[in-house]
Amino acid sequence: MTANGERRQRTLARAVGLGLAAIAAAALAVLISSPSTSSSHAIQQAPALPASPEPALRVPSPVRLRGSVGVAQWASVRYGVSVRASASSRARIVTRLGSATPEGTTNIVLVLRRARDRGGRLWVRVRLPVLPIGSTGWVPRQALGVYGVVETHLVIDLERLTATLLRNERPILRAPIGVGRAEWPTPKGEFYIRNMLTRYRSPFYGPLAFGTSARSSVLTDWPGGGFVGIHGTDAPELLPGRVSHGCIRLRNQDILELGRLMPVGTPVTIR
Protein backbone atom coordinates (compact mmCIF):
# COMPACT_ATOMS: atom_id res chain seq x y z
CA MET A 1 0.00 0.00 0.00
CA THR A 2 1.25 3.46 -0.92
CA ALA A 3 1.61 6.27 1.61
CA ASN A 4 -1.40 8.05 0.12
CA GLY A 5 -3.49 4.91 0.37
CA GLU A 6 -2.58 4.41 4.04
CA ARG A 7 -3.47 8.04 4.87
CA ARG A 8 -6.85 7.70 3.12
CA GLN A 9 -7.57 4.49 5.01
CA ARG A 10 -6.73 6.10 8.43
CA THR A 11 -8.92 9.10 7.62
CA LEU A 12 -11.79 6.81 6.67
CA ALA A 13 -11.37 4.75 9.82
CA ARG A 14 -11.35 7.94 11.96
CA ALA A 15 -14.48 9.17 10.20
CA VAL A 16 -16.24 5.84 10.78
CA GLY A 17 -15.15 5.86 14.41
CA LEU A 18 -16.44 9.39 14.99
CA GLY A 19 -19.69 8.53 13.26
CA LEU A 20 -20.22 5.47 15.45
CA ALA A 21 -19.40 7.47 18.54
CA ALA A 22 -21.90 10.14 17.53
CA ILE A 23 -24.59 7.52 16.95
CA ALA A 24 -23.84 5.86 20.30
CA ALA A 25 -23.98 9.20 22.12
CA ALA A 26 -27.26 10.06 20.46
CA ALA A 27 -28.69 6.64 21.32
CA LEU A 28 -27.53 7.01 24.93
CA ALA A 29 -29.10 10.43 25.15
CA VAL A 30 -32.37 9.05 23.85
CA LEU A 31 -32.21 6.13 26.28
CA ILE A 32 -31.53 8.40 29.24
CA SER A 33 -34.14 10.96 28.38
CA SER A 34 -36.89 8.81 26.95
CA PRO A 35 -38.54 7.64 30.27
CA SER A 36 -39.04 11.23 31.43
CA THR A 37 -39.52 13.09 28.23
CA SER A 38 -42.96 14.36 29.32
CA SER A 39 -41.68 15.31 32.83
CA SER A 40 -38.80 17.25 31.33
CA HIS A 41 -41.20 19.01 29.08
CA ALA A 42 -43.49 19.85 32.00
CA ILE A 43 -40.61 21.13 34.12
CA GLN A 44 -39.45 23.30 31.23
CA GLN A 45 -42.96 24.71 31.06
CA ALA A 46 -43.18 25.27 34.83
CA PRO A 47 -41.84 28.84 34.84
CA ALA A 48 -44.87 29.78 32.80
CA LEU A 49 -47.21 28.86 35.72
CA PRO A 50 -48.38 31.63 38.07
CA ALA A 51 -46.34 32.15 41.24
CA SER A 52 -47.52 30.43 44.44
CA PRO A 53 -49.44 32.70 46.78
CA GLU A 54 -47.77 33.92 49.95
CA PRO A 55 -49.21 31.99 52.92
CA ALA A 56 -51.73 34.02 54.92
CA LEU A 57 -49.84 33.30 58.11
CA ARG A 58 -46.32 32.34 59.01
CA VAL A 59 -45.81 29.68 61.63
CA PRO A 60 -42.92 30.85 63.80
CA SER A 61 -40.25 28.66 65.33
CA PRO A 62 -41.45 26.04 67.82
CA VAL A 63 -42.39 27.67 71.11
CA ARG A 64 -40.50 25.98 73.96
CA LEU A 65 -41.78 26.11 77.52
CA ARG A 66 -39.91 28.59 79.65
CA GLY A 67 -38.78 25.93 82.09
CA SER A 68 -40.03 24.77 85.44
CA VAL A 69 -38.29 27.25 87.73
CA GLY A 70 -40.84 28.64 90.17
CA VAL A 71 -43.74 26.82 88.49
CA ALA A 72 -46.63 25.42 90.54
CA GLN A 73 -49.70 23.42 89.58
CA TRP A 74 -53.22 23.58 90.90
CA ALA A 75 -56.33 21.57 90.17
CA SER A 76 -60.06 22.21 90.45
CA VAL A 77 -62.15 19.90 92.63
CA ARG A 78 -64.89 18.28 90.52
CA TYR A 79 -67.04 16.85 93.27
CA GLY A 80 -67.05 16.35 97.02
CA VAL A 81 -64.41 13.81 97.95
CA SER A 82 -62.81 12.30 101.02
CA VAL A 83 -59.15 13.19 101.43
CA ARG A 84 -56.94 10.31 102.52
CA ALA A 85 -53.73 10.20 104.54
CA SER A 86 -52.02 8.16 101.80
CA ALA A 87 -52.62 7.09 98.20
CA SER A 88 -55.12 4.38 98.99
CA SER A 89 -58.88 4.17 99.32
CA ARG A 90 -58.30 2.26 102.57
CA ALA A 91 -56.17 4.99 104.15
CA ARG A 92 -57.43 7.16 106.98
CA ILE A 93 -59.71 10.06 105.99
CA VAL A 94 -58.04 13.39 106.74
CA THR A 95 -60.92 15.67 105.80
CA ARG A 96 -63.53 16.16 103.11
CA LEU A 97 -63.16 18.55 100.19
CA GLY A 98 -66.14 20.26 98.61
CA SER A 99 -66.35 21.43 95.02
CA ALA A 100 -67.03 25.09 95.94
CA THR A 101 -65.58 27.74 98.25
CA PRO A 102 -67.66 29.78 100.72
CA GLU A 103 -67.54 32.58 98.12
CA GLY A 104 -69.18 30.35 95.50
CA THR A 105 -66.10 29.89 93.32
CA THR A 106 -64.72 26.53 92.22
CA ASN A 107 -62.68 24.95 94.97
CA ILE A 108 -59.08 24.47 93.95
CA VAL A 109 -56.12 22.71 95.56
CA LEU A 110 -52.40 22.98 95.05
CA VAL A 111 -50.91 19.85 93.44
CA LEU A 112 -47.84 18.53 95.26
CA ARG A 113 -47.15 15.08 93.76
CA ARG A 114 -48.75 11.97 92.24
CA ALA A 115 -48.67 8.25 92.96
CA ARG A 116 -50.49 5.07 91.95
CA ASP A 117 -51.99 2.58 94.35
CA ARG A 118 -51.60 -1.19 94.02
CA GLY A 119 -54.52 -1.31 91.61
CA GLY A 120 -52.91 1.26 89.33
CA ARG A 121 -55.32 4.01 90.33
CA LEU A 122 -53.83 7.49 90.12
CA TRP A 123 -53.80 9.63 93.28
CA VAL A 124 -52.72 13.24 93.77
CA ARG A 125 -51.28 14.71 96.94
CA VAL A 126 -52.67 18.19 97.49
CA ARG A 127 -52.32 21.10 99.87
CA LEU A 128 -55.54 21.58 101.83
CA PRO A 129 -57.44 24.71 102.89
CA VAL A 130 -58.05 23.34 106.39
CA LEU A 131 -56.65 23.46 109.89
CA PRO A 132 -54.19 22.49 111.18
CA ILE A 133 -51.93 24.72 109.14
CA GLY A 134 -49.86 22.86 106.56
CA SER A 135 -52.36 20.02 106.09
CA THR A 136 -51.96 17.88 102.99
CA GLY A 137 -53.71 14.75 101.79
CA TRP A 138 -54.39 12.42 98.85
CA VAL A 139 -57.38 12.46 96.51
CA PRO A 140 -58.10 10.26 93.49
CA ARG A 141 -57.20 11.98 90.21
CA GLN A 142 -60.72 11.48 88.91
CA ALA A 143 -62.06 13.79 91.64
CA LEU A 144 -59.96 16.61 90.20
CA GLY A 145 -60.68 18.51 87.02
CA VAL A 146 -58.71 21.12 85.16
CA TYR A 147 -54.99 21.44 85.91
CA GLY A 148 -53.69 24.99 86.02
CA VAL A 149 -50.12 26.24 86.03
CA VAL A 150 -48.75 29.41 87.61
CA GLU A 151 -45.28 30.90 87.49
CA THR A 152 -45.83 33.23 90.42
CA HIS A 153 -45.22 32.95 94.16
CA LEU A 154 -46.26 35.44 96.84
CA VAL A 155 -44.04 35.83 99.90
CA ILE A 156 -45.45 37.61 102.95
CA ASP A 157 -42.78 38.76 105.40
CA LEU A 158 -44.36 39.32 108.82
CA GLU A 159 -41.16 40.84 110.21
CA ARG A 160 -40.50 43.38 107.47
CA LEU A 161 -44.25 43.85 106.76
CA THR A 162 -43.81 43.42 103.02
CA ALA A 163 -45.47 41.41 100.29
CA THR A 164 -43.19 40.31 97.45
CA LEU A 165 -44.54 38.73 94.30
CA LEU A 166 -42.08 36.52 92.41
CA ARG A 167 -42.37 35.31 88.85
CA ASN A 168 -40.07 32.41 87.99
CA GLU A 169 -38.42 33.21 91.34
CA ARG A 170 -37.66 36.82 90.39
CA PRO A 171 -39.38 39.67 92.26
CA ILE A 172 -41.81 41.68 90.15
CA LEU A 173 -43.72 43.56 92.87
CA ARG A 174 -43.00 44.58 96.45
CA ALA A 175 -45.45 46.46 98.67
CA PRO A 176 -45.91 47.41 102.33
CA ILE A 177 -48.63 45.50 104.15
CA GLY A 178 -50.76 45.41 107.24
CA VAL A 179 -50.96 42.09 109.11
CA GLY A 180 -52.69 40.63 112.15
CA ARG A 181 -52.37 42.11 115.62
CA ALA A 182 -50.67 40.09 118.33
CA GLU A 183 -54.01 38.67 119.55
CA TRP A 184 -55.12 37.75 116.00
CA PRO A 185 -51.86 36.73 114.34
CA THR A 186 -51.56 36.10 110.64
CA PRO A 187 -50.75 32.36 110.38
CA LYS A 188 -47.30 31.35 109.13
CA GLY A 189 -46.87 28.53 106.63
CA GLU A 190 -47.39 27.44 103.02
CA PHE A 191 -50.73 28.32 101.40
CA TYR A 192 -52.19 29.30 98.02
CA ILE A 193 -54.60 31.74 96.40
CA ARG A 194 -58.08 30.20 96.06
CA ASN A 195 -60.09 32.94 94.36
CA MET A 196 -60.39 36.61 93.50
CA LEU A 197 -63.34 38.80 94.50
CA THR A 198 -64.12 42.06 92.72
CA ARG A 199 -66.87 44.66 92.24
CA TYR A 200 -68.33 44.31 95.73
CA ARG A 201 -69.42 47.33 97.73
CA SER A 202 -67.21 47.47 100.78
CA PRO A 203 -64.61 50.24 101.15
CA PHE A 204 -63.17 48.34 104.12
CA TYR A 205 -61.81 45.61 101.75
CA GLY A 206 -60.79 48.02 98.99
CA PRO A 207 -61.44 47.30 95.29
CA LEU A 208 -60.20 43.72 95.18
CA ALA A 209 -59.70 40.78 97.51
CA PHE A 210 -57.92 37.44 97.17
CA GLY A 211 -59.08 34.43 99.14
CA THR A 212 -56.31 32.20 100.45
CA SER A 213 -56.18 28.68 101.84
CA ALA A 214 -54.81 30.08 105.11
CA ARG A 215 -57.12 30.03 108.12
CA SER A 216 -56.88 31.83 111.40
CA SER A 217 -56.31 29.45 114.25
CA VAL A 218 -57.89 32.01 116.59
CA LEU A 219 -60.96 33.31 114.73
CA THR A 220 -62.31 29.89 113.75
CA ASP A 221 -65.94 30.94 114.30
CA TRP A 222 -65.64 33.89 111.89
CA PRO A 223 -68.26 33.90 109.07
CA GLY A 224 -66.92 31.83 106.17
CA GLY A 225 -64.61 29.83 108.40
CA GLY A 226 -61.98 32.40 109.33
CA PHE A 227 -60.09 32.33 106.04
CA VAL A 228 -57.30 34.85 105.65
CA GLY A 229 -57.78 37.29 102.80
CA ILE A 230 -55.39 39.57 100.94
CA HIS A 231 -57.24 42.78 100.15
CA GLY A 232 -57.23 46.57 99.83
CA THR A 233 -58.13 49.05 102.54
CA ASP A 234 -59.90 52.32 103.29
CA ALA A 235 -57.22 53.22 105.86
CA PRO A 236 -53.92 53.23 103.94
CA GLU A 237 -52.34 55.47 106.58
CA LEU A 238 -52.15 52.44 108.90
CA LEU A 239 -49.79 50.59 106.55
CA PRO A 240 -47.33 49.13 107.18
CA GLY A 241 -48.47 47.89 110.55
CA ARG A 242 -49.98 45.15 112.70
CA VAL A 243 -53.55 46.29 112.39
CA SER A 244 -55.80 43.45 111.13
CA HIS A 245 -57.68 40.41 112.38
CA GLY A 246 -55.19 38.23 110.50
CA CYS A 247 -55.85 39.36 106.94
CA ILE A 248 -53.15 40.95 104.82
CA ARG A 249 -53.97 44.49 103.78
CA LEU A 250 -52.39 46.40 100.91
CA ARG A 251 -52.85 49.93 99.63
CA ASN A 252 -55.51 49.98 96.92
CA GLN A 253 -53.09 50.75 94.11
CA ASP A 254 -50.93 47.82 95.24
CA ILE A 255 -53.80 45.34 95.48
CA LEU A 256 -54.93 46.37 91.99
CA GLU A 257 -51.43 45.77 90.68
CA LEU A 258 -51.35 42.42 92.47
CA GLY A 259 -54.68 41.60 90.84
CA ARG A 260 -53.13 42.26 87.46
CA LEU A 261 -50.01 40.18 88.09
CA MET A 262 -51.04 37.32 90.37
CA PRO A 263 -53.30 34.51 89.07
CA VAL A 264 -55.45 32.28 91.21
CA GLY A 265 -53.52 29.17 92.23
CA THR A 266 -50.38 31.12 93.15
CA PRO A 267 -48.56 29.60 96.16
CA VAL A 268 -48.28 31.87 99.19
CA THR A 269 -45.53 31.65 101.79
CA ILE A 270 -46.15 33.52 105.04
CA ARG A 271 -43.07 33.70 107.23
Partner 1 sequence: MARDEQELQPRSDLTLGELDRDGAILEAVEQVSGETRAAFLGKAAVGGAALLGALAAPPIGQASAASDVAILNYALTLEYLQAAFYTETERLDAVGGELKRVPRQLGAVERAHVAAIKKALGRAAVKRPAFNFRGVTEDQSKFLKTAVAFEDLGAAAYKAQAARIKSPALLAAAISIHSVEARHAAWMRFLAGVTPAAAAFDEGKPISEVRAIVASTHFVVARPKTRARKKPKYGG
Q: Does 222 bind partner 1 (CB under 8 A)?
A: yes
* Range list of H helices, 164-264: 252-261
**Smallest separation, CB 65 to partner 1 (Å):** 6
Q: Does 236 bind partner 1 (CB under 8 A)?
A: no
Closest CA to 107 of 90, 95, 119: 95
Q: Which residue, 10 or 116, is less far from partner 1 as judged by CB?
A: 116
Binding footprint of partner 1, residue count (CB under 8 A): 69
To the query of whether residue 231 is one of the catalytic residues in this protein, the response is yes
Q: Does 266 bind partner 1 (CB under 8 A)?
A: no
Closest CA to 238 of 250, 227, 253, 256: 250
Q: Count CB neighbours of 70 within 10 A.
A: 16
DSSP 43: H
Distance of CA 227 to the CA centre of its chain: 27
Q: Does 54 bind partner 1 (CB under 8 A)?
A: yes
To the query of whether residue 247 is one of the catalytic residues in this protein, the response is yes
C-alpha distances in angstroms, 58 versus 45, 52, 53, 63? Answer: 29, 15, 13, 14
Interacting residues with partner 1 between 108 and 147 (CB under 8 A): 108, 114, 121-122, 141-143, 145-147
Helix, coil or strand: residue 164: strand
Active site residues: 231, 247
Site residues (CB under 8 A) for partner 1? Answer: 52-65, 68, 71, 73, 76, 78-81, 102-106, 108, 114, 121-122, 141-143, 145-149, 180, 184, 195-202, 204-205, 209, 211, 216, 219, 222-224, 226-229, 231, 244-247, 264-265
